[in-house]
A and B are shown apart, each in its own frame.
Chain A
């Protein structure tokens, strides 16, 4: 039950892994899209997949979904091999499609009923799924007349309609307004609460931090980091930021405070980067007082930027460096 092409000794699959990936490689010509990825997604886990464009996220997910065959390595999904097209496995998975993948000239409900039937589920499942994503009022609207956010929610509903154990979501909140985005977070938390496993590809790091149990940061086809957002943030030692109204202290003077790594003026604030927040706050209190001082601790975004901005350990650099955003 493996997609192994050339065998190499690998540890036996863990019993509790919903997805088991070992040393998976996939090349397109000379471009190594996925270059030896190993990871496990546990049952019931909310697993985030992050990384810059071109990092290999899509290819990796498509290999897990069974849409592509790995060149080598081992892939097991819910205890089965997803390749070649595994019709026993497919009903247990739900995949969010592109927001264009609708049967033409159908209403939202007609589309979902059709998708449900492809999964051998009934019309009641389609109605439930419409309500879940909040498209009840649009049930009789033609898919062509739905707004961007509504289309996106319909695409998500298509992934949920048959009640799958494992759900793949790809940038599910991209076209949503802030309220709809928070509403969807609630839907996703409910799905997780029901014991479903979710693989979540996103560029929204706040979202990954708020939702995911663990995240993998993929770069140039390799896993650069894999842990809970909390552990990643703690381990990185990324600096906290202290912000105080500009003009209260000159950047030069601020940089001389012991513990301050960097001081700069950004958007009307003087920003101090430090790994020793307590010490610097005390010094600031003595110098200017703490009125109007805001602290911002490191986030997953800092970890991400630090990882994606740096060259890979073996000397090969990432294909796509994001714009340097450090002060």
Chain B
């Protein structure tokens, strides 16, 4: 077996054996869906006349997927460095790209399963989401979004040296971003200057694209622009991530 395959298998086993983390990875976005879904059940947003669920479902999904991507890679990198596992890898002939590729594939798989699960629940009559015809385009949107947030996770995981600091840094970034990007509240309800601020946040584009593909709130051109923006974020954060990457805590 190749290093890549074996690393991916080890990562898969590590993920499925951590039942608690696995449960909350899938349950966490659903909790938000339930809370917001029940509060705003059968209500429309007065600014646009669209039902709340059309805002909340894509927003909470993209936030949940982004959150999981950031946390998973940040924790893994911090832990591998702290336990000297990165040093072990550094001493083998395996290229770093194989290691990154295996983590990337794992993150994509987790994000995909999260999204499928979440959308399936949202389609239940209780929540009443109706899918737009261009829903298959959610796949490239997930790819772009997970890539961008994985790159952010690499930066956090390279700077943080303890689980506590990973949680602090990631939450500090992801929770405000969720509100400012319209994941939990329709962005159309926010003052216009905040809507402008939102446009510098990668999650805004993830929300916007997911909302277009799942509920039809935007066409192909919008989705293309959103994906391009996420790709640009991925490149910028990816470059920073490689710059701050450390093999060891000992210098």
Q: Which residues of A contact B (CB under 8 A)?
A: 65-67, 85, 87-88, 90-91, 93, 95, 97-98, 100-106, 110-111, 113-115, 117-120, 122-123, 158
Does B173 touch A at the CB level, under 8 Å?
no
Nearest residue in A to B82 (C-beta to C-beta)?
Answer: A100
Contact present for A90 and B92 (CB under 8 Å): yes
Closest 10 CB pairs of A and B: A117-B6, A118-B92, A87-B93, A98-B84, A101-B84, A100-B83, A105-B17, A105-B14, A118-B94, A114-B10
Nearest residue in A to B11 (C-beta to C-beta)?
Answer: A103
Known contacts: A103-B10, A105-B13, A105-B18. The answer to whether A97 contacts B94 by CB under 8 A is: no
Contact present for A118 and B3 (CB under 8 Å): yes
Which residues of B from 57 to 112 have beta carbons under 8 Å from A?
Answer: 79, 82-85, 87-95
Q: Please name all residues of chain A whose beta carbon is closer than 8 Å to the beta carbon of B17 when the two chains form the complex.
A: 105
Contact present for A67 and B88 (CB under 8 Å): no
Contact present for A117 and B7 (CB under 8 Å): yes
Contact present for B10 and A65 (CB under 8 Å): no
Contact present for B84 and A97 (CB under 8 Å): yes
What are some 18 contacts across the A-B interface (CB < 8 A)?
Answer: A65-B91, A67-B91, A67-B248, A88-B93, A90-B91, A90-B93, A97-B87, A98-B84, A101-B85, A105-B13, A106-B10, A113-B6, A114-B6, A114-B9, A115-B88, A118-B94, A120-B2, A120-B3
Total A-B contacts with CB atoms under 8 angstroms apart: 83
Known contacts: A87-B95, A105-B14, A119-B93. The answer to whether A114 contacts B7 by CB under 8 A is: yes
Contact present for B83 and A118 (CB under 8 Å): no
Q: Please name all residues of chain B whose beta carbon is closer than 8 Å to the beta carbon of A158 when the two chains form the complex.
A: 88
Nearest residue in B to A91 (C-beta to C-beta)?
Answer: B93
Contact present for A67 and B87 (CB under 8 Å): yes
Contact present for A95 and B3 (CB under 8 Å): no
Q: Please name all residues of chain B whose beta carbon is closer than 8 Å to the beta carbon of A114 when the two chains form the complex.
A: 6-7, 9-10
Contact present for B2 and A117 (CB under 8 Å): yes
Nearest residue in B to A95 (C-beta to C-beta)?
Answer: B91
Q: How many residues of B contact A (CB 8 A)?
A: 28
Bound form: Cα–Cα A100–B10 in Å: 16
Q: Which DSSP category, helix, strand, loop or mixed, fits chain B's interface?
A: helix
Q: Please name all residues of chain A whose beta carbon is closer than 8 Å to the beta carbon of B124 when the two chains form the complex.
A: none
Known contacts: A65-B91, A97-B87, A97-B88. The answer to whether A104 contacts B7 by CB under 8 A is: no
Q: Chain A's nearest CB lies how many Å from the CB of B81? A: 10
Q: Please name all residues of chain B whose beta carbon is closer than 8 Å to the beta carbon of A111 when the two chains form the complex.
A: 10
Q: Please name all residues of chain B whose beta carbon is closer than 8 Å to the beta carbon of A115 when the two chains form the complex.
A: 88, 92
Q: Please name all residues of chain A whose beta carbon is closer than 8 Å to the beta carbon of B83 when the two chains form the complex.
A: 98, 100-102
Bound form: Cα–Cα A56–B13 in Å: 39
Q: Please name all residues of chain A whose beta carbon is closer than 8 Å to the beta carbon of B85 when the two chains form the complex.
A: 97, 100-103
Q: Please name all residues of chain A whose beta carbon is closer than 8 Å to the beta carbon of B79 when the two chains form the complex.
A: 104
Q: Please name all residues of chain A whose beta carbon is closer than 8 Å to the beta carbon of B7 when the two chains form the complex.
A: 114, 117-118
Q: Please name all residues of chain A whose beta carbon is closer than 8 Å to the beta carbon of B90 when the two chains form the complex.
A: 67, 85
Does B1 touch A at the CB level, under 8 Å?
yes
B109-138 to A contact mask, C-beta < 8 Å, 1/0: 000000000000000000000000000000
Contact present for B14 and A101 (CB under 8 Å): no
Q: Please name all residues of chain B whose beta carbon is closer than 8 Å to the beta carbon of A120 when the two chains form the complex.
A: 2-3, 93
Q: Please name all residues of chain A whose beta carbon is closer than 8 Å to the beta carbon of B13 when the two chains form the complex.
A: 105-106, 110
Q: Please name all residues of chain B whose beta carbon is closer than 8 Å to the beta carbon of A67 when the two chains form the complex.
A: 87, 90-91, 247-248
